[in-house]
Structure 1
Amino acid sequence: MQKIAKKLVEIMKEVSYIEKKGRNSFHNYSYATSADVLEKINQALVKHNLCSIVLTELLRMDEVTTAKGSIEHLVTVKVDVMLVDGDSGETVSFIGLGSGQDSGDKAIMKAQTAGIKYAYMMSFAIATGDDPEADSGTDESNVIHEENKGKSAKNKATTNNVVANEYLCKKCKDELTEKVYKYSLSKHGVPLCMKCQKLNNGSNVA
């Protein structure tokens, strides 16, 4: 494995970064296309006299209903990639998984393309500038969401306290129903529970 390992290191140096030239306008993000990845990998493999042998295994095929109500095929495959050194005969293998969805007969091809692309990208540590931790939009959204939750809870608590304090007996501080509260205000001028109203014998309480 020593000879092929040296070649793989050289290939990793040559394909360390691939620019994201593809654009998904629907979801608004850029990506490295399979064509760009495979073109750069193929050039490096040929340069160092390595050939690739790819075997695909179908893992799963399901029918899914889209938001528009149409039926599409969702396929998941396992891709086994073996590299053979044309000089030493040494080999190395790695695996990739891919999924593809299509209403016609291209679901398997999409899955295979994705599997091969990411098998090479992960095995050769190819960078495209993607970093899940750098998703500032999601982080900002989460912060705003938490702040709004805090403000909402605070406003709700304040509102509840106002209501609670408003419907309390002035003397014993027992809670009052809205009906008793209104009756006491009209009869005594202050909020009193029924017990305190009887104890005061109908007299006004300042």
Structure 2
Amino acid sequence: MQQIAGKLVKVMEECSNIRKNGINDFHHYKYATSADVLEKVNASLVRHKVATIVAPEITSSNDVINNKGNAEHLVTVKVNITLVDTESGESIVVTGFGSGQDGGDKAVMKAQTAAIKYAYMLSLAISTNDDPEADSRTDENVSSPLEQPLKRENANDTLLCSDCGVKVSIGVKNVSIKKYGKSLCMKCQKKSQAIA
């Protein structure tokens, strides 16, 4: 493992920072695009003669109702990426999870893309030059829509984890929205803590 580890250290140096070039107009935030991450990581892996083999696995697939009342598919994918040093034959596996939601046939592709992107970002310690915990609105006690407690409109409303689609209580959803910016079940909150 010594040779591949040395090569991965070089890849980590070359890919230590990726700019946030993507813009989410709906939620008003910038993000590192999957294309930017994969382009930079792939170029470095190729330069150091490290091949990749991606093996995706669907861990959950559910039909959910979006905010507009339309049915969509919510899929969570786990990817195992085997990194192989083509010179020594040594290999290592990195794992990532991602979720995708879509009304058509793109949920799996969205989930795979997110899983691959975050597997590389976490495994190679790639920074986007921000700190998700540095939220001045929270620090200043200024309330944003995400920080408002959610109220159930009627008793038949279904509360779902946005990552895996399981039902959650209103209390779990409220705490999750405040801490992670989205509705997560306890299991997915633990995964988010482990990743952070």
Q: Compute the TM-score of the two structures, normalised by the length of structure 2.
A: 0.71
Deviations 1:144-165 (A, max 9, x none): 9xxxxxxxxxxxxxxxxxxxxx
Judging changes above 3 Å, is the alpha-carbon distance between structure 1 residues 99 and 48 closer, same or farther for their aligned structure 2 residues? Answer: same
* CA positional deviation for 1:142: 4.9
Q: Which residue of 1 aligns with 2:28?
A: 28
**Partner SS for 2:140:** helix
Deviations 1:69-100 (A, max 9, x none): 11000000100000000100000111100000
Q: Which residue of 2 aligns with 1:135?
A: 135
**Partner SS for 2:42:** helix
Q: Which residue of 2 aligns with 1:174?
A: none
**Partner SS for 2:141:** helix
**Partner SS for 2:113:** helix
Q: Which residue of 2 aligns with 1:152?
A: none
Q: Which residue of 2 aligns with 1:108?
A: 108
**Partner SS for 2:126:** coil
Aligned structure 1 segments of 4 or more residues deviating by more than 4 angstroms: none
Contact 2:137-2:143 at 8 Å conserved across structures: no
Alpha-carbon distance in structure 2 between the residues aligned to 1:62 and 1:141 = 36
Contact 2:34-2:113 at 8 Å conserved across structures: yes
Deviates more, 1:133-142 or 1:100-109: 133-142
**Alignment partner of 1:8 is 2:17:** no
**What percentage of aligned pairs have identical amino acids?**
60
Higher helix share: 1
Q: Which residue of 1 aligns with 2:56?
A: 56
Q: What letter matches 1:71 in structure 2?
A: A
* CA positional deviation for 1:140: 1.9
* CA positional deviation for 1:130: 2.7
* CA positional deviation for 1:44: 0.2
Judging changes above 3 Å, is the alpha-carbon distance between structure 1 residues 143 and 68 closer, same or farther for their aligned structure 2 residues? Answer: closer
Alpha-carbon distance in structure 2 between the residues aligned to 1:62 and 1:105 = 13
Alpha-carbon distance in structure 2 between the residues aligned to 1:18 and 1:98 = 19
How many residues are aligned here?
Answer: 144
**Partner SS for 2:133:** helix
Unaligned runs of 5+ in 1: 145-206
Q: What letter matches 1:40 in structure 2?
A: K
Deviates more, 1:27-36 or 1:64-73: 64-73
Q: Which residue of 1 aligns with 2:162?
A: none
Q: Counterparts of 1:12-161 in structure 2 under 5 Å? A: 12-142=12-142
* CA positional deviation for 1:134: 1.1
Deviations 1:1-60 (A, max 9, x none): 011111000000000000000000111100000000000000000000010000001000
